[in-house]
Amino acid sequence: MTAVEINGRDLAQEIKDEMKVEVEELNRKGIYPKLTVVLVGDDPASKSYVKGKKKASAETGIESELIELPVSTTETELLSLLNGLNNDNSIHGILVQLPLPDHINEQKVIETISPKKDVDGFHPINIGHMMTGNDTFLPCTPHGIITMLKSRNLQIESKHAVVIGRSNIVGKPVGQLLLNENATVTYCHSKTKNLQHYTKQADILIVAVGRPNVINQTHLKEGAIVIDVGVNRLEDGSLTGDVDFDSAKEIASYITPVPRGVGPMTITMLLKNTIKAAKGMTR
Ligand code: GUN
């Protein structure tokens, strides 16, 4: 079997085209969705992610503003800036790019952003709504993954989904969203013994480790759906995922490539959340 590739870039483009029309409709009603991104310091990877967010916003007609702060910014200064953004009615979505410098408490920052403007879906209130299956801002990468599966009408209900990785941004929430879709979910992580024992049972395998070649065809059940969340930069500057793509595609039924896989979907879901915020659709 050679797996069908789920191209996230093409799907993201389709969704962005639909959102552009939606934004135009909102504009006619006098609503101009706006996203403010805050970047502290000059980490090259973060800068590149932020640039991608700005470009995608522009393509969809969403206004975006980038606030770049020096690495010396204090926690108090950042929290006070966020309080100002919370109270600015022209701003619908606020995103603080992570990771933050060590002297700033990330959790404090996440909890300072108003849950109504939390387009990352990281605020504990929004995490709570996600866990109970209520409508809220869903975290972008997990939401992008579910959207990719649904775009191909792939059944999630009653399937065994195995998630490798337990980060707050991807692993934990994607497992929760799969559970909300009635999958049976197993989490694996760095302390899991005999990883292959679990991956071999996966109908849907989500790989979010952050290391190349963690998974190859020897880990897979015939016909498994493989979602590769990894973005690893190799020494030659090229990007690769966590999965050995050429090996896994021989066994999998569907697989996501890197690049052009989950990455573009993450940004698209961020824009979706910004439109949702502009419509005032959250509790
Ligand atoms: N850094 C890496 N991924 C993300 C993300 O989804 N949101 C934010 N705010 N920072 C990140």
Domain CATH number, residue 68: 3.40.50.10860
Question: Could you tell me if 163 and 87 lie in one domain?
Answer: no
Note the pLDDT tens digit of each residue in 226-239: 999 999 999 999 99
What pLDDT is stored for residue 283 in this prediction? 46
Check if the beta carbon of residue 227 is closer than 8 Å to that of residue 265: no
Is residue 93 classed as helix, strand or coil in its secondary structure? strand
- The answer on 188 and 87 residing in a single domain is no
- CATH number where 219 lies: 3.40.50.720
Segment 159-201, tens digit of pLDDT: 999 999 999 999 999 999 999 999 999 999 999 999 999 999 9
163, part of any domain: yes
234, 177: one domain: yes
Count of structural domains within the chain:
2
Give the whole-number percent of the chain exceeding pLDDT 90.
98
Do 34 and 145 fall within a single domain? no
> Is 1 among the domain residues?
no
φ, ψ of residue 20 to 5 degrees: the values are -60, -40
- pLDDT category of residue 282 using cuts at 50, 70 and 90: low
What are the φ and ψ backbone dihedral angles of 257, each rounded to 5 degrees? -80, 170
Give the mean pLDDT of the chain: 97
Binding-site residues for NADP(+):
165-167, 231
Same structural domain for residues 109 and 146?
no
Q: Which atom of ligand 1 is nearest to the CA of 96?
A: 9
* Parent domain of 147: 138-263
Burial 57-89 (b: 16+ CB within 10 A, else e): bebbbbbbebeebeeebebeebbebbeebeeee
Residue showing tokens 């970047």: 39
Say whether pLDDT at 276 is over 80: yes
Cα distances (Å, whole numbers) of residue 22 to 63, 99, 271: 14, 32, 11
Is any ligand 1 atom within 6 A of the Cβ of residue 169?
yes
Residue 1 is predicted with a pLDDT of 75
Q: Tell me whether residue 24 is in a domain.
A: no
Q: For ligand 1, what atom is nearest to the CA of residue 141? A: 6
3-class secondary structure, 269: helix
Of 43-52, 66-75, 120-129, the poorest mean pLDDT is in 43-52
Centre of ligand 1 from the C-alpha of residue 104, in Å: 16
Q: Evaluate: CB of 95 within 6 angstroms of ligand 1.
A: yes
- State how far the Cα of 281 lies from the Cα of 238, in Å rounded to an integer: 39
| Mean pLDDT on 125-143 | 98
- Closest residue CA from atom 8 of ligand 1: 97
Q: Is the CB of 228 under 6 A from ligand 1?
A: no
Answer yes or no: do 103 and 144 share one domain. no
Cβ of 140 less than 6 Å from ligand 1: yes
